């Protein structure tokens, strides 16, 4: 009897702790109660909205439903539609600005929220409850049914973001809009737009036209970023691009319709080589530099310190720099209505400052003992410029060096500890430590993935906890995923690097902490693989691959393997044959023989190959000890 009752409960109730596999939502809602029956979407049914503010969401949903079904579905004001989008007359405080309730029965669907943002997120839930064919770009056939359920949902954090670097590689206006649309459907609400760096200036500044005439373009180069050849004298600069004011206004409006705030980043005082290519007089040396095409322009010493071979920093002692920045931020502030402007502040090399007479004179005048502290002076000047334009300063955690007021907001990337320290000092923090959120890192075995300097598995991203131990959660605004584009030259590869890790992080930032369950997430993730296939969105399948490492035991090299997803079998050979399901099956650590062996590994599920073939020679295995 007890077992029977348990089965009944599992079939009826889908909550943060007891989740029904037929409802494969990402991110997982606060509470879902599955009920009997379903709603069938049919031709001629309409979407109604009770207030004018809900019209945009209703029309967006009507378009999304009409395209793959071929049905004539209209959005109309009122409460008579089979699908109803209702803004509450009396606010439900539990739902906040972005929460919603969702009710589907055999007679229809009702989504209720305090604000249009909540309706938008309820719409995403509705779409995920429909079959995968809803993602089709053309009319297709499917059973257009939605399971009967009651859902209550609202986000854990107010800041749920994804950063895209468009400096290293430029992505078109339409590609940026496509990316924003994709992340909005995962209930992300912030698009951090990394617009300037050493490798390209991507935003039109009408008062400083050389920023895009010169700074937006560089020589064409192939090969691994950081290993490319220097530009030749008078070589043409065909590679690049930038966004005009009109482009940006269009993208901002597109994002607003999807409840996404765009936070622009102008990276200063370091990472400014593209700006200095246009205006070299803003540097300490005044020497002409180029927009960097991916050369090795710095020596890194392995402990986080480095030395620049080419100057890429603005001169903090030159008043013309602040006049320049005032012009830049005037136009940026005009284009982006959100309260924040991200000013970078990371990886600023101080060597040229230390050798500059003007910087030394400024240090003496300001009684600054260490050249590193000039960054604090610079950032405080920049914050003053932003405040005059009604904007808040946001920067990477290096802005703490040399001191910046607690009215600034810190985005920690160098580790959880730095974010905790910033929060303890009273700063508002957007927490995005690289070890969990840098989605440009390798996500599978380094021998088969394009090379990057570090790795990050989807399971580790999913394990991230944004609120450090002992820190008051009120100081943590939320977090985001960051995609740097040194090795991401195409939009298809942007998608490949983003998913499924952005699916995992969407749940970290939206869902209740206690709702997280890796094994359950992977089940839902796999249904989203299928949906992405229909939508023609690229993604990585590295979660199916074996994770291979070696250890030493009694003088022997031991082979240890595992998988991120449960229920996958690992087969291997060391005799120069190709592995399949009849090869040795890995169950426990294996002592490898001496000699020049080659390990070959493949994964299977239910008797079918599912992962990549991984091949490692003995030298590769030795390096993994």
Q: What's the CATH number where 11 sits?
A: 3.30.379.10
Which residues lie closer than 8 Å to 139 by C-beta, 6 or more apart? 67, 68, 69, 70
User: What is the rounded average pLDDT of the residues 95-102?
Assistant: 98
User: What is the rounded average pLDDT of the residues 139-149?
Assistant: 96
Closest CA to 432 of 406, 408, 398, 466: 466
The band of 16, judged by pLDDT with boundaries at 50, 70 and 90, is: very low
User: Of the residues 153, 174, 206, which one is the last residue of a structural domain?
Assistant: 153
- Give yes or no for a contact between 221 and 228, defined as CB atoms under 8 angstroms apart: yes
β-strand partners of 585: 571
Collect contacts of 558-565 with beta carbons under 8 A, ≥24 apart: 558/589, 558/590, 558/591, 558/592, 559/586, 559/589, 559/590, 559/591, 559/592, 559/599, 559/621, 560/589, 561/586, 561/601, 563/603, 563/611, 564/457, 564/458, 564/459, 564/522, 565/522
| Residue range 116-141, pLDDT digits in tens | 999 999 999 999 999 999 999 999 99
Please indicate, yes or no, whether residues 453 and 563 belong to a single structural domain of this protein: no
User: What is the rounded average pLDDT of the residues 251-264?
Assistant: 98
Which positions are annotated as active-site residues? 197, 271, 347
Residue 537 lies inside a defined structural domain of this protein: no
**Is residue 5 over pLDDT 90?**
no
Task: Enter the DSSP assignment of 318.
Answer: -
Q: What distance in Å separates the CA atoms of residue 71 and residue 80, rounded to the nearest whole number?
A: 18
Please indicate, yes or no, whether residues 602 and 572 belong to a single structural domain of this protein: yes
CATH of the domain at 610: 2.60.40
Taking the complete model, does pTM exceed 0.85, yes or no? yes
Residue 301 lies inside a defined structural domain of this protein: yes
Task: Give the tokens for residue 177.
Answer: 């809009």
Please indicate, yes or no, whether residues 50 and 74 belong to a single structural domain of this protein: yes
Task: Give the tokens for residue 115.
Answer: 């604000």
Residue 452 lies inside a defined structural domain of this protein: yes
In the prediction, which pLDDT does 402 show?
78
**Is residue 7 over pLDDT 50?**
no
Please indicate, yes or no, whether residues 483 and 576 belong to a single structural domain of this protein: no
The CA–CA distances, whole Å, from 209 to 171, 200, 294, 313, 320 equal 21, 14, 24, 20, 16
Please indicate, yes or no, whether residues 363 and 386 belong to a single structural domain of this protein: yes
Closest CA to 378 of 391, 357, 388, 363: 363
Residue 348 lies inside a defined structural domain of this protein: yes
Please indicate, yes or no, whether residues 362 and 428 belong to a single structural domain of this protein: yes
Q: What distance in Å separates the CA atoms of residue 343 and residue 270, rounded to the nearest whole number?
A: 10
Q: Provide the residue range defining the domain that includes 583.
A: 545-623
Residue 529 lies inside a defined structural domain of this protein: no
**Is residue 172 over pLDDT 90?**
yes
User: What is the rounded average pLDDT of the residues 235-255?
Assistant: 98
Q: What angle do CA 576, 577, 583 make, to 5 degrees?
A: 125
H or E element at residue 109 = strand 108-113
The band of 277, judged by pLDDT with boundaries at 50, 70 and 90, is: very high
State the angle between helix axes of 319-335 and 245-257 in degrees (0 to 180), rounded to the nearest 10: 50
Higher pLDDT, 9 or 85: 85
β-strand partners of 46: none
The band of 15, judged by pLDDT with boundaries at 50, 70 and 90, is: very low
Share of the chain above pLDDT 90, in %: 93
Please indicate, yes or no, whether residues 147 and 182 belong to a single structural domain of this protein: no
The mean pLDDT of the chain is 95
- Give yes or no for a contact between 563 and 546, defined as CB atoms under 8 angstroms apart: yes
Share of the chain above pLDDT 70, in %: 97
- Residues 231-247, buried b or exposed e (16+ Cβ, 10 A)? beeeeebebbebbeeeb
The band of 177, judged by pLDDT with boundaries at 50, 70 and 90, is: very high
User: What is the rounded average pLDDT of the residues 516-542?
Assistant: 98
| Residue range 58-82, pLDDT digits in tens | 999 999 999 999 999 999 999 999 9
Residue 84 lies inside a defined structural domain of this protein: yes
- Give yes or no for a contact between 479 and 411, defined as CB atoms under 8 angstroms apart: no
Q: Cβ atoms within 10 A of the Cβ of 511, count?
A: 22
Q: What distance in Å separates the CA atoms of residue 438 and residue 164, rounded to the nearest whole number?
A: 11
Please indicate, yes or no, whether residues 168 and 147 belong to a single structural domain of this protein: no
User: Of the residues 153, 183, 205, which one is the last residue of a structural domain?
Assistant: 153
Please indicate, yes or no, whether residues 277 and 366 belong to a single structural domain of this protein: yes
Ramachandran assignment for 548, one of left (phi > 0), alpha (psi -120 to 50 degrees), beta (any other): beta
The total of structural domains in the chain comes to 3
**Is residue 317 over pLDDT 80?**
yes
Please indicate, yes or no, whether residues 395 and 505 belong to a single structural domain of this protein: yes
Lowest mean pLDDT among 200-204, 242-246, 302-306: 302-306
- Give yes or no for a contact between 505 and 432, defined as CB atoms under 8 angstroms apart: no
The band of 19, judged by pLDDT with boundaries at 50, 70 and 90, is: very low
User: Of the residues 511, 536, 567, which one is the last residue of a structural domain?
Assistant: 511
Rg (alpha carbons) of the chain, rounded to whole number: 26
- Give yes or no for a contact between 65 and 73, defined as CB atoms under 8 angstroms apart: yes
Residue 26 lies inside a defined structural domain of this protein: yes
Q: What distance in Å separates the CA atoms of residue 173 and residue 250, rounded to the nearest whole number?
A: 9
H or E element at residue 433 = none
User: What is the rounded average pLDDT of the residues 464-491?
Assistant: 96
Q: Cβ atoms within 10 A of the Cβ of 287, count?
A: 11
CATH of the domain at 298: 3.20.20.80
- Residues 57-67, buried b or exposed e (16+ Cβ, 10 A)? bbbbbbebbeb
**Is residue 46 over pLDDT 80?**
yes
In the prediction, which pLDDT does 3 show?
52
Q: Give all strands of the β-sheet with 83-87 in edge-to-edge order.
A: 13-15, 31-40, 145-153, 100-105, 108-113, 83-87, 47-49, 75-77
Please indicate, yes or no, whether residues 371 and 481 belong to a single structural domain of this protein: yes
Please indicate, yes or no, whether residues 145 and 191 belong to a single structural domain of this protein: no
Tell me if residue 124 falls in helix, strand or coil: helix
Residue 517 lies inside a defined structural domain of this protein: no
């Amino acid at each position: 009897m007890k077992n029977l009752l348990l089965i009944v409960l599992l079939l009826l109730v889908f909550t943060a702790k007891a989740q029904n596999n037929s409802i494969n939502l990402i991110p997982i809602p606060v509470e879902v109660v599955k009920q009997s029956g379903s709603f069938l979407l049919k031709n001629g049914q309409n979407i109604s909205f009770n207030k004018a503010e809900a019209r945009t969401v209703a029309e967006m949903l009507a378009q999304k439903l009409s395209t793959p079904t071929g049905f004539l579905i209209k959005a109309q004001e009122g409460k008579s539609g089979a699908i109803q989008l209702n803004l509450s007359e009396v606010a439900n405080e539990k739902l906040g600005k972005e929460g919603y309730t969702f009710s589907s029965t055999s007679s229809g669907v009702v989504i209720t929220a305090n604000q249009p943002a909540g309706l938008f997120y309820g719409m995403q839930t509705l779409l995920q409850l429909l079959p995968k064919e809803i993602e089709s770009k053309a009319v297709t056939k499917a059973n257009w049914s939605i399971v009967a359920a009651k859902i209550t949902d609202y986000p854990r954090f107010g800041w749920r973001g994804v950063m895209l670097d468009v400096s290293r590689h430029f992505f078109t206006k339409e590609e940026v809009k496509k990316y924003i649309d994709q992340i909005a459907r995962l209930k992300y609400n912030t698009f951090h737009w990394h617009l300037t760096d050493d490798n390209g200036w991507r935003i039109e500044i009408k008062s400083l036209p050389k920023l895009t005439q010169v700074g937006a373009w560089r020589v064409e180069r192939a090969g691994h970023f950081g290993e490319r050849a220097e530009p030749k004298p008078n070589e043409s600069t065909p590679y690049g691009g930038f966004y005009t004011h009109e482009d940006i206004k269009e993208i901002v409006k597109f994002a607003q319709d999807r409840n996404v705030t765009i936070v622009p980043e102008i990276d200063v005082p370091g990472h400014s080589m593209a700006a200095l290519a246009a205006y070299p007089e803003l540097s300490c040396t005044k020497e002409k530099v180029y927009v960097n095409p991916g050369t090795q322009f710095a020596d890194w010493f392995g402990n986080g310190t480095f030395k620049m071979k080419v100057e890429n920093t603005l001169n903090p002692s030159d008043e013309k720099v602040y006049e320049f920045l005032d012009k830049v931020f005037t136009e940026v502030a005009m284009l982006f209505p959100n309260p924040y402007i991200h000013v970078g502040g990371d990886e600023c090399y101080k060597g040229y400052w230390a050798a500059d007479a003007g910087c030394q004179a400024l240090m003496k005048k300001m009684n600054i003992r260490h050249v590193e502290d000039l960054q604090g002076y610079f950032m405080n000047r920049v914050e003053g410029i932003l405040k005059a334009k009604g904007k808040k300063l946001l920067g990477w955690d290096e802005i703490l060096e040399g001191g910046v007021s607690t009215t600034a907001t810190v985005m920690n990337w160098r580790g959880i500890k730095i974010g905790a320290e910033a929060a303890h000092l009273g700063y508002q923090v957007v927490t995005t430590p690289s070890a969990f959120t840098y989605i440009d890192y390798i996500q599978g075995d380094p021998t088969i993935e394009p090379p990057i300097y570090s790795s990050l598995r989807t399971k580790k991203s999913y394990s991230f906890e944004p609120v450090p131990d002992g820190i008051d959660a009120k100081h943590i605004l939320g977090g985001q995923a960051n995609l740097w584009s040194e090795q991401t030259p195409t939009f298809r590869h942007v998608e490949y690097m983003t998913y499924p890790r952005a699916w995992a992080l969407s749940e970290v930032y939206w869902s209740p902490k206690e709702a997280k369950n890796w094994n359950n997430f992977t089940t839902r993730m796999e249904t989203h693989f299928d949906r992405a296939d229909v939508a023609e969105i690229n993604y990585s399948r590295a979660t199916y691959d074996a994770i291979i490492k070696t250890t030493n035991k009694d003088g022997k090299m031991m082979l240890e393997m595992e998988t991120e997803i449960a229920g996958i079998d690992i087969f291997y050979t060391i005799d120069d044959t190709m592995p399949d399901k009849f090869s040795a099956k890995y169950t426990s650590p294996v002592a490898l023989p001496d000699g020049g062996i080659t390990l070959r590994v493949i994964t299977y599920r239910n008797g079918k190959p599912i992962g990549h073939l991984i091949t490692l020679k003995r030298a590769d295995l030795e390096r993994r000890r």
